[in-house]
Structure 1
Amino acid sequence: MNKQSLFKLATPLLAIAVISGCSDDDDDEEIVIEPLMRSYEVQVVNLTPNQPLSPVAALVHDSTIQAWMLGSPAIVPLEVMAEGGDNSQLLAIEGLWASASGAGVIMPGASETMMLEFEDSVDLNLTLATMLVNTNDAFTGLNSWSIDQLAVGDSWSATTNVYDAGTEANSETAATIPGPAAGGEGYAEARDDVDRVYVHAGVISADDGLTDSALSFSHRFDNPAMKITITRIE
């Protein structure tokens, strides 16, 4: 069953008022200029067989902000999301034009549609990020994709790979997997992995001989993990 939710990502609607009077006999005239707005429909589909996705973080920002970079240490907001599914720190990154969270967990095969609305500007980029919750610190998403040139009525689709935040060892134990496969701990401050973001190699699972793993063959995933379709509405 598809799940749909509506979000408005908006900086406050600003109005500029100009009041003029030519003489005592003239009525005051008020001119209100409202800013141009952009609206986008963003649909995300979970393509994995048994990896629920945490609530999607949607960020609108300029090109100076990068939620992650391959080969570099994960920023703390990404670490928190990738280990426990909590996107609140990502949504609060300083300098965002706008941000919003998905309505909830997206189950395998399910989808969610978000309506994003914000004030028109230049150098607009969209980032989406979500955790594969039956993992230690795997995540997927779209990193800083430019939406400046997408015309009204046009759509763009892509599939996303799975990345490892590199902040928590992929032990797959019940104590460290926060999803329904184990119900263990989420974010832990200490980093005990390679401390760099890289393309995830996939889970091993108990069925493959990792005896302490809380995961089974059903929790395996292959790229891509998510499909994204972006349509500009306004």
Structure 2
Amino acid sequence: MPSIKNYQKALLIALPLALSACGDDDTREVIVEVEVPAPVPTPVDVSYEVTVTNLTNGQPVSPPAIVLHTEGTLWALGEVPSVALERIAEEGTSDEFLTLGTVSAGGDGPITPGNNQTISVTIQDITNAKLTIAAMLGNTNDTFSGLSAWDLSQLEVGDSWTTNSPAYDAGTEKNTESAETVPGPATGGEGFNPTRDDTGFISMHPGVVSADDGLSTSALTVDHKFDNPVIRIKITRTE
């Protein structure tokens, strides 16, 4: 009897049948099709390491939010920011933003000037996910930086890609730079406020002015000013 291979095979069963018309035994072959379901494949992990480096001299970068998603964008220039992004841009809180994708991972603390942080994230069976990153510049009203919907299909295992990212203005809070509205260590002011009083859309950030350069409402100094780019992002596919 032949064995079953490739999950489906004709199985031959010999059945002895007695023929009444003659005294001899006769054997007929009956073909029975047997279908064996294919085994469920074991999920394959697709893993990345994302390293974010703070390029500023006086701005702490909030713990980066790393999100892998399969469709659309989570933020883009000219668009109205989501409340989840507003929370990052105004107070560095990423809990809500991290729920927006298929898989996500957050940093474990602020990144001080000149330092970096590496975050690992894994998704199963998907090599063409999009990668979005967002993190706040702490000594500002609503400044953030990051990467929007970068196509990870460009990376094979062992490949790396590096880019520098500028500062963006979430457009949710006026850039008064006041002690009451800047949440970072320079002032310790208010974080997220649901009231939006600025342009209402994401744009390139004009930069910190500071009290030293004549902004009467500012509690910041020239030490908190920054040039673009403000962060460096390195993505490596590890698995």
**What TM-score range do you get, normalising by the shorter chain?**
0.7 to 0.9
How big is the shift at 1:31?
5.6
1:121 aligned to 2:129?
Answer: no
Partner secondary structure for residue 177 of structure 2: coil
1:67 aligned to 2:69?
Answer: no
CA RMSD of aligned residues (A): 1.7
**Aligned CA distance change for structure 1 residues 154 and 122 (closer, same or farther; 3 Å):** closer
1:84 aligned to 2:91?
Answer: yes
Match of 1:184 in 2: 189
Distance in structure 1 (CA, Å) of the matches to 2:126 and 2:163:
24
Q: TM-score, normalised on structure 1?
A: 0.84
Partner secondary structure for residue 33 of structure 1: coil
Unaligned runs of 5+ in 1: 1-17, 23-29
Once superposed, which parts of structure 1, at least 4 consecutive aligned residues long, lie more than 6 Å away? none
Distance in structure 2 (CA, Å) of the matches to 1:181 and 1:203:
13
Match of 1:9 in 2: none
How big is the shift at 1:109?
0.5
- Whether contact under 8 Å (1:63, 1:123) holds in the other structure is no
- Whether contact under 8 Å (2:66, 2:106) holds in the other structure is yes
1:144 partner amino acid:
A
Match of 2:43 in 1: 35
1:151 aligned to 2:159?
Answer: no
Distance in structure 2 (CA, Å) of the matches to 1:32 and 1:168:
51
Partner secondary structure for residue 139 of structure 1: strand
- Whether contact under 8 Å (2:165, 2:232) holds in the other structure is yes
- Whether contact under 8 Å (2:103, 2:121) holds in the other structure is no
How big is the shift at 1:123?
3.6
Q: Identical aligned pairs, as a percentage? A: 48
Distance in structure 2 (CA, Å) of the matches to 1:173 and 1:218:
15
Partner secondary structure for residue 80 of structure 1: helix
Unaligned runs of 5+ in 2: 1-6, 12-37
Q: How many residues align?
A: 204
